[in-house]
Structure 1
Amino acid sequence: MDNTKSKSSFKAKIQKLGTNLSSMVMPNIAAIIAWGLITALFMKSGWIPVAKIAELITPMLNYLLPLLIAYCGGRLVYEERGAVVGAIAVMGVIVGADIPMFLGAMIMGPLGGWCMKKFDQLFQEKIRSGFEMIYNNFSAGIIGMLLAILGTYIVNPLVTAGSNFMAKGVDWIISIHMLPLANIFIEPAKILFLNNAIGNGILVPLGVQQAATAGKSVLFLLESNPGPGLGILLAYMFFGKGSSKASAPGAAIIQFFGGIHEIYFPYVLMKPALILAAIAGGVSGTFTFQLLGGGLKAAASPGSIIAILLMTAKGAYFGVIAGVLVAAVVSFAIAAIILKADKSEDDDSFAEKQAQMQEMKAESKGQSVMSAQAAQTSVESYRDVKKIIFACDAGMGSSAMGASLLRDKVKKAGIENISVTNTAVNKLQDEQGLLVITQEELAERAAERTPSAMHVAVDNFLSSPRYDEIVANLKALTQIDSQSATEEQPKNQNSTDNVDNIDVSKVKEVTYVRHDQHVGTATMAVASLQALMHKAQKTTKVTATAIDDIQDDASYLVVATPEAAKNLRLRYTNLQVLVVDNLLTSDQYPALVDKLN
């Protein structure tokens, strides 16, 4: 057990280091793209050569980009004061260097923030009233000056030597055509949600340095190539099972055109052998890029085919497109073999698998059956929630989509005064009333940053049964509060158990709840009731609707089994519910039809 915990902590530390590197580059991707576009369009050998505009290229590369990276690095450690000191400190590394000082910025930025933070911890509280501004300005200025001098004489030579060594190493690997082997490490690391750390923390800085001299770099394509993920998702489309097969087309569109690679990670985690398909696709794609001269002018972020084509260097389009296609074909072929050879049972849905996992966890702890008191405790744990934040590695892409999904569910449930947003896990701030939703891989780091918050970990931001659980608990609280406020009326508007309690004057539509396990039952029930309605010459509409799409209005009468009725009453307060023992053959239907219009 201790060994498992140790491995988890080590993994969290590696992820944290990678995310910190990424967090210095990610906010500045727009600046890197701007530099790449100016270079591609207006340099001497660009698409539209303009000498005057081309003068921007060198200053942006040597000064603007390192300063921005160092600023973000300092801010990461100690907010604005750390950011300013980090920017001052990096100037000592920049001046006199004959290479872009990205690595130097990643060192001096956080170092400046850390030094400023420690100095303030020692002296800030000892400053007398009225002298705060003098202390703040001069302390930051003096520390920035000292670090800039340190950077000039010590860090600059070390980083220059290190960068030259790494550049020669990369050039050597490229010259002997061994760069594709890097994907053996990159693809598995991506599945562990280290994709942003690898791409923006390591490959982008090296790629910018290479592109500054060669006009393009294949390093920008190693992590951002959408081909391997596309091939795996296409294999699921043809050879997958259950809802993983059904959801693969949409996931492929989001991954290939939207550039959100995280969307295919759960598909690989479902069948770990598919990592071989990802590796083979990455290796073959990189080999093709090298063979046919593919390369980008600047980073493509997100890793969308659209962003990649926009950043492709002049004359390198054939190599880039061919590399993406080859990666997709190879990963598809291997993934297809793996999926066809898989003899396991159909995976009915991601949600069902995750629900089964949670159930098995509960059973192992003797919690397989939740009592009414335990359920009430679970609901009450949500009482203080005022804000929900989705946190992922980069704070973009998958977490934004997850937040959008839950925001829509919260809105449909009529829950007010609870905001749903997204951010990067390293930007989380601890506060009361916060519910943090993150991927299981990042749960430990999220808990470290927000110990006071409530935490929910999910396998996949785009498909999790925990979202319905969260909405149901929040909705239950509103119902509990409503019932407490009106104790003289123990039954609320939707507590209609039988036909006698239905207000038929309000009913405009009778609906059955449709869900994955009982699609056929709901459809047959609709047909059965429609036949009775037609025979009695009644015109009230009869439908089958997903539970999230039901409108909370008394004009809707939902026919449900006792188990489904409990869930409906947790979610909705106004619609009317008719409880029946059997959706197909209830003895209440004749009386219902007789009363309806």
Structure 2
Amino acid sequence: MANVANVVEPPKTPSIRARFQAFGGFLTNMVIPNIGAFIAWGILTALFIPTGWIPNESLAKIVGPAIKYLLPLLLASTGGRMIAGQRGALMGAIGAIGLIVGSEIPMFLGAMIIGPLGGWVIKKFDKSIENKIPAGFEMIVNNFSIGILGFLLMILSFYFIGPVIELANNFVTSAIKALVDTGYLPLLSLINEPAKVLFLNNVIDQGIYYPLGMQETLKAGKSIYFTVASNPGPGLGLLLAFALFGKKAAKRTAPGAIIIHFFGGIHELYFPYVLMKPLTILAMIAGGMSGITVFNLFNAGLVAGPSPGSIFAYLALTPKGNFLGIISGVLVATAVSFIVTSIILKLDKKSDEEEDFTSSIERSKSMKSEGKQILSSSIDHSITNKISKIAFACDAGAGSSALGATSFRKRLQKKNINGIEVKHYRIEDVPQDTDIIVVHKNLLERARLSHTNKKIITIENYIDDPNLAQLINELEER
């Protein structure tokens, strides 16, 4: 029976990167369930504000209240629910209204703080009184605990938390606006692109650019901040270069990755290609910088955050008069990334064997740094004949993991392997009865934060990874 590689033991101490990934994933999972509301607001703005497609003074009155009240309350409620269910959602919303009324800016970042805080407060309270409530007093205790604690949190957020967040927001806004005014905004790509391939893209997008973008859109009807980290052009250029000049698996899988990345908006598909050849990060930075430069020259922006970062989402959220700038920014970023990646690949004289060896060395170093070893001799004993549930997990549970689960499920069907449930989840939501968890190798430490005793298989490519093929073979043999 074949051994399944990369089933590893938990590291002793999670790295800072893993903790940032978890933080970014937490922010994402407050935003993702509410993306529809953000898009609805973006469409409303694009259509009915004075500079929109069909200006309407009456309907434009919805724009301000929606961004000030509706969207922050949704975020806070979702964040509270993630911590403490429905009671947490209620606490989060109560606390958020104090922020909203006490500030002059849309409180997206504040909502993403106060929501989980409210959930944590009520969760701790409920745990402290567990099994201590006299029979018949459950309802009054539950209701008054929310009322009293929510009241205190609302006052605290109004007088203290809101002003602190507004001060921090104004500082960050001033710093980034200074980059815009001096023409140095493209330098953000020096941070954005490396952060993305390390799966920290959600920290910068949901934590920084989206709140700033919504704030600017309320005033100007659009924002360039929505484009600085989500442009699909650099990834498209990189994948096109690999499709033409790559080798072996990279060349074979790049065309499929192009479709999923550019049209599906799942940018995680190109991350393994950059990790395989780290020098190509220069192509991503160059592509990102050139795209931002073009967006800036055309004064182009989007009306809301494109999630997922598909070209379809870009075009749907482009306001009137900005199509030339947006399309040009994507095309220029694609061309620059393609040229630089092609040069890097053409100058690379390594053989396929050397590439495989380098990849193995990199993987080994990564595992060693995380305090893990490949225990191939004992893996057959740890994976039993009763595998019934396999979970593909990623940052938000809705992008690369969905792709991986769908692809793996189809491969099981082709092999006539039945009785195994394959689903996708965000890492923290993987059910406890899961037998095997599949994650990208850069998300391993984060997965271990929530699943210390689970069997985890790491992969580098969601379409054609040897570890998935090895798992398929083992399941087929059994």
Distance 2:77 2:269 in 1: 31
Distance 1:460 1:366 in 2: 19
**Cα–Cα, structure 1 residues 113 and 365, in superposed 2: closer, same or farther, change >3 Å?**
closer
Distance 1:399 1:351 in 2: 27
| Aligned counterpart, 1:381 | 383
**CA deviation map 1:293-329 (0-9, x unaligned):** 1100111111111110111121111111111111111
| Aligned counterpart, 1:288 | 294
Q: Does residue 344 of structure 2 align to residue 338 of structure 1?
A: yes
**CA deviation map 1:479-530 (0-9, x unaligned):** xxxxxxxxxxxxxxxxxxxxxxxxxxxxxxxxxxxxxxxxxxxxxxxxxxxx
Equivalent residues of 1:21, 1:200 under 8 A apart: yes
Q: Which structure's CA Rg is the greater one?
A: 1
Q: CA deviation at 1:465?
A: 2.1
Distance 1:356 1:141 in 2: 54
Q: Does residue 232 of structure 2 align to residue 226 of structure 1?
A: yes
Distance 2:61 2:434 in 1: 51
**Cα–Cα, structure 1 residues 9 and 384, in superposed 2: closer, same or farther, change >3 Å?**
farther
TM-score where L is the length of structure 1? 0.73
More contact order relative to length (CA 8 Å, sep ≥ 6):
2
Distance 1:7 1:323 in 2: 42
| Aligned counterpart, 1:446 | 447
Distance 1:248 1:468 in 2: 18
Q: Does residue 156 of structure 2 align to residue 150 of structure 1?
A: yes
Equivalent residues of 1:243, 1:350 under 8 A apart: no
**CA deviation map 1:157-206 (0-9, x unaligned):** 22222222322222222111111101100000000011222222221111
Equivalent residues of 1:42, 1:53 under 8 A apart: yes
| Aligned counterpart, 1:412 | 414
Q: Does residue 137 of structure 2 align to residue 136 of structure 1?
A: no
| Aligned counterpart, 1:525 | none
Equivalent residues of 2:20, 2:203 under 8 A apart: no
Q: CA deviation at 1:353?
A: 6.6
Equivalent residues of 1:351, 1:464 under 8 A apart: no
Alignment of 1:352-391 (within 5 A): 378=380, 381-391=383-393
Distance 1:219 1:342 in 2: 35
Range that drifts further, 297-306 or 167-176 = 167-176
| Aligned counterpart, 2:26 | 20
| Aligned counterpart, 1:546 | none
Distance 2:374 2:285 in 1: 41
| Aligned counterpart, 1:467 | 468
Amino acid at match of 1:402: G
Amino acid at match of 1:192: L
Instruction: Report % sequence identity.
Output: 46
**Cα–Cα, structure 1 residues 137 and 470, in superposed 2: closer, same or farther, change >3 Å?**
farther
Q: CA deviation at 1:420?
A: 0.8
Q: CA deviation at 1:148?
A: 0.5
Distance 2:283 2:27 in 1: 28
TM-score where L is the length of structure 2? 0.90
**CA deviation map 1:415-441 (0-9, x unaligned):** 333211101113234x23432111111
Alignment of 1:63-102 (within 5 A): 63-102=69-108
Amino acid at match of 1:122: S
**Cα–Cα, structure 1 residues 142 and 383, in superposed 2: closer, same or farther, change >3 Å?**
farther
Q: CA deviation at 1:351?
A: 13
Alignment of 1:55-454 (within 5 A): 55-346=61-352, 378=380, 381-429=383-431, 431-454=432-455
Equivalent residues of 1:389, 1:422 under 8 A apart: yes
Specify the SS of the correspondent of 2:465: coil
Specify the SS of the correspondent of 1:421: strand
Amino acid at match of 1:200: Q
**Cα–Cα, structure 1 residues 446 and 129, in superposed 2: closer, same or farther, change >3 Å?**
farther
Amino acid at match of 2:408: L
Q: CA deviation at 1:105?
A: 0.5
Equivalent residues of 1:183, 1:283 under 8 A apart: yes
Equivalent residues of 2:92, 2:115 under 8 A apart: yes
Distance 1:365 1:94 in 2: 50
Equivalent residues of 1:90, 1:105 under 8 A apart: yes
**Cα–Cα, structure 1 residues 476 and 250, in superposed 2: closer, same or farther, change >3 Å?**
closer
Distance 2:332 2:256 in 1: 21
Specify the SS of the correspondent of 1:426: helix
